[in-house]
Chains A and B, each alone.
Chain A
Amino acid sequence: MDMIVHPVLLFVAIAICGVGVALSVPRRKFHASLIGGLVAATGVGVLIVALGGAALAEGGPLPSPFFHLLAIIALGSCLQVITHRRPVYAALYFILSILSTAGLYILLAAEFMAFALVIIYAGAILITYLFVIMLASQSRVEDEEEGISEYDAVGRGPITATIVSFALLAALTSMLFTGVRAIAPPAAESVARAETVVLERLPGKIEKELTREGLMARGETVTGLERTEAGVLATVEGAGGGSRLVALPEDLAPTNTEGLAFNLLGDYPGTIEIAGVILLMAMLGAVVLARKFAQIDEEAKATAAAALAEGASAGGGRPNG
């Protein structure tokens, strides 16, 4: 097996992580989340170090230090999500994990996705989760021990779950670390092609940039792009005809948004429509389900109105909780 890290090391590290996670799962008697977290962190750290060592051994580049930071934050907050006893905190930690994931996306040059993640996920979905948590919350007392519901306080079968999941993780990572070797990095032509395929569709942007740089006069249009050894060359046509090749400045590159836009809307328009339909269905479903609440609300409202009409003390209107 040609794995990036040695399989035994991998499995041992994963085992350590597993132990740590199992310890962190909420339990009745003693709270070992801190220790568990540290143990898990150790495991992860070992693995990351191993990966880094392997990268250095090949002479390749290391991922940016921001990666390590963001990864630790992401995994740590995920651990807190799954082990914190209070649901609200779990949701909040999840938001933190989303933010660090967004950072990882930025490192991967997918800034649009990062923004989208934050706006949609953290900003909409998670807020909804928080609303529902508070809606369905049952804690009446602030006290730590008594206020937490039974189902939150104790995890169910942590050992079995951990063993099973980390077995899966071991298998996954083995597969990943071996398969990664087999994935061929993109060929040079496709790299070159990738550069120009989006820019070709943005002549306006090129014209603007070239005009700003002074390499082009008004009235001229860019009609083509080609990639040569000297760099990317643009074919500029003059107003009266005649074309010349102009080298593009090096920092002229399509943004992630532009590239994604062309891919999303250009190659998958139908899928967008379907996505819209899915969202519509979800909305309809939520409305249907919510209608029943409305019914309950109506009944409560009716009794409250009747009570009011009798002139008794306004005890109605107690919201359904």
Chain B
Amino acid sequence: MTMLSMPLGALSSLVAAADGPFIATGEAPPWIALMPGLPLLGAALCVLFACLHVKSKLPGYLTVALLAGGFATALAAFLGGLDNYGVATIFRWIHASIGADTSTTIAADFGFYMDGLSTLWMLFVTGLATVIGLYSTEYVEHDKGLGYCRFFFAFNLFVFSMSTLVMADNLLLLFLGWEGVGLCSYLLIGYFYKKPEAVAAAKKAFIINRIGDLGLLMAIGATFVVFGTLEFRPLFEMVAQGIDAQGQPIGHTWVVVVIPLLLTAGAFGKSAQLFFYVWLPDAMEGPTPVSALIHAATMVTAGVYLIARMFPLYAADDAMIALTVVAWAGTLTAFWAATIEFAQYDIKRIMGYSTISQLGFMFAGLGLLGTTGAVFHVFTHAFFKATLFLCCGAVMHGFGGQLSLRRLSGVMWMKGFGITAACMFIGCLSLSGVPFTAGYFSKDMILAQAFATPSDMIGGAFLIGLLLLLTAAMTAYYTFRVFFRVFVGPKHFEPGDDDHGGDHGADHGDGHSAHHQGETEEEGDALHTGFHPHAPGWAMNSAMVLLAIGTIVVASLYFVNKKEDHGWAGTMVKHSSAAYASPGLSHGDKTAEHHGDAAAAGSHGTDSHDAANPHGEGAIEGDVKPHAEAGTLFGQDPFKIMYYVSAVLGLLGILAAAWFHGPKGAWGLGIGNREHPRRVRMDAVAAKFGPIPRWAENKWYVDELYHTVIVKPLLVLSHVFHAIDKLVIDGLVDLLGSLPRWLGAMLRPTQNGVLHSYATGMVAGSAVLIVLVVLVALL
């Protein structure tokens, strides 16, 4: 394998990926190991602090400092450009020879593979980790002491694991990081371990992740069997040539279908797609910074990262089977999650389902061969979703754990929540895809790709596009539903019933809600004697502001290198293994990636962006069949027209939300009529749909279905095993144990202390002996 890499590597470094994905061949500088190393140090220090019973916020601030160091390293790596791309081996990890003649070697080093994809990922992972770490120094301050140290230990460990996952240069190290983030997710979701719901949610998350991990593990094994290596560089080189370890072509074999599907299973488990999504809404039981970092920005994008990283393998299939599966799964999940959100009232849950929905978008983007769009959406989504979560967390923190949008209103005008509301607004704009926000641009790339990709490449791409458009509209609606209910309108609040709010509000339960229904809300916040909202402090505010600014700034990245690479994200993706000539997108330079010969389908679609590109390399797939032109939308180039279509849909969604949920007045865009947190126009409309809203509120009973179909039988099975364990195995051991006792009980009566019985025994014994001797000797 290595002997192939030399000439090929030289080629690919000269001409960036003339023949396939970009394979980083150089040596990355060893200081990139600071990115996982500093958080690891932070984790160790937090353990030390816990042992030393540190009661201050030192663990938190130290974590923020170390993570900032990690972010600085990521920035330096990014600014260093292509020089920093390559592999940096830190230490030799696994080198095992297996097989009868020990000829097969499994080699996995602790090494880091830096290319555009991992650099991009590390930027936002470390950046968000730093900011959210700052936020959490204030958020978990009520648990100063051991709980604080525990939180930051898991936080640091998480960042370390995520870094390892992203920067790993081989599948085994990636798996290490994969498991690590799962573990830290478990630790952090179950941070409030005294709450049974949190513990159950942690377990659910971990178990469902595990099911996906099985697929990943099988994929790793299959990769090793077929390609003989687990390291990315040799693997990509082999895949680029379309051969496996023995030199056999893999183009139409099971390799390019099964392995990607297994990888997809792993990715779906981690990223809460399709059947695996049920853990993410429950994971909102964890502290909000955890939800922001892990379940919005980083861990759940690990699945996207995996597919992007292994994209060459997916794309090596002519029939694009795995990619079709990915696209449809992502789309269906996005739509499904959006439908559930129509009837959820817990704002964190809404954000959780929104994450699932947006992740669906990202997977759809990948499946539709639009890797650039997917990766860019990951980047922007990290920022605005984190912003949204942090704002929800500020609300929760301030109102004693209250998260129901039926009990909160007009938070914007409450003292100290102005910044929160502003950041929330920015985040909502971005999520809904309002023009010129980051989310607008990134979602557009995916939506347009859905129509640009011809349907014979990815089956039913057009339908996917329609569904995604509908989902985008629904996204705008439910996002602004939250905003119009919670942040604007008449001031009203009811404190939540967890004592996270400290010394106030803990004893005010929901029993007050019924009491205060009929009161006017003009006064608002003096409803409950003794409870005052707890405005966020400087740490939380600054974190939210930073992220909101980030959300605005990343929108501009769309315009960096727009013509050549379709945005800054495109540049990064171009220099990574996710590089792919997405149909409908043309590229400005000769370094367009196309597999094999570019003969097929010279006809590009309708018009290309650049006249400087006589040969439209956009839609070239490979060496097999010429396929139809890139798709169109309303007869136009999808990428151009999507700007308008999605803007219209987004605005429609916002108007719908204002109509149904908006308050009276300007903040309701003039069409709302809400005067009370509970009575909205939507309720009357929803009543017309009969039981359907209630079903949606109950998440379409999916959890109950899983419980009945999977959990209960397993419980029964576990009872069976328990019975077997107790009766058979324990019984066997007890039987063996009771054997000496039984034997003793049998023999004990011979020791009756009476002389005669002993004497009789002696005589009997000697009689037997003599009889035996006589018989043996004389016969």
Contact = CB atoms under 8 A, between A and B. Distances in A.
Contacts of A156: 756
A239 interface: no
Contacts of A160: 760
Main secondary structure of the interface of A (DSSP, over half): helix
Interface of A: 1, 156-157, 160-161, 164-165, 167-168, 170-172, 174-175, 178
A165 B763 CA distance: 7
Contact of B778 (A1, A170, A172): A1
B514 interface: no
B82 to A, nearest CB: 101
Contacts of A1: 778-779
B760 A168 contact: no
B774 A174 contact: yes
The 8 closest A-B pairs by CB, nearest first: A168-B767, A171-B770, A167-B767, A164-B764, A171-B771, A1-B778, A164-B763, A171-B774
B517 interface: no
B56 interface: no
Contacts of A167: 764, 767, 771
B766 interface: yes
A170 B775 CA distance: 12
Given A160-B760, A174-B774, A175-B773, 18 more contacts: A1-B779, A156-B756, A157-B757, A157-B760, A161-B756, A161-B760, A161-B763, A164-B763, A165-B763, A165-B767, A167-B767, A168-B763, A168-B766, A168-B770, A170-B771, A171-B770, A172-B770, A175-B778
Interface of B: 756-757, 760, 763-764, 766-767, 770-771, 773-774, 778-779
A74 B60 CA distance: 107
12 contacts: A1-B778, A1-B779, A161-B756, A164-B760, A164-B763, A167-B764, A168-B766, A168-B770, A170-B771, A172-B770, A175-B773, A175-B774
Contacts of A161: 756, 760, 763
A4 to B, nearest CB: 13
Contacts of B757: 157
Contacts of A165: 763, 767
Nearest to A7: B778
Contacts of B763: 161, 164-165, 168
Nearest to A170: B771
Nearest to B759: A161
B770 A175 contact: yes
B763 to A, nearest CB: 5
A202 to B, nearest CB: 43
Contacts of A171: 767, 770-771, 774
Contacts of B770: 168, 171-172, 175
A171 B390 CA distance: 99
Contacts of B766: 168
A178 B771 contact: no
B775 to A, nearest CB: 9
Contacts of A164: 760, 763-764, 767
A156 B757 CA distance: 9
Nearest to A2: B778
Contacts of A174: 774, 778
A177 to B, nearest CB: 10
A147 to B, nearest CB: 23
A170 B778 CA distance: 14
A292 to B, nearest CB: 22
A171 B766 CA distance: 10
Nearest to A3: B778
A168 B766 CA distance: 8
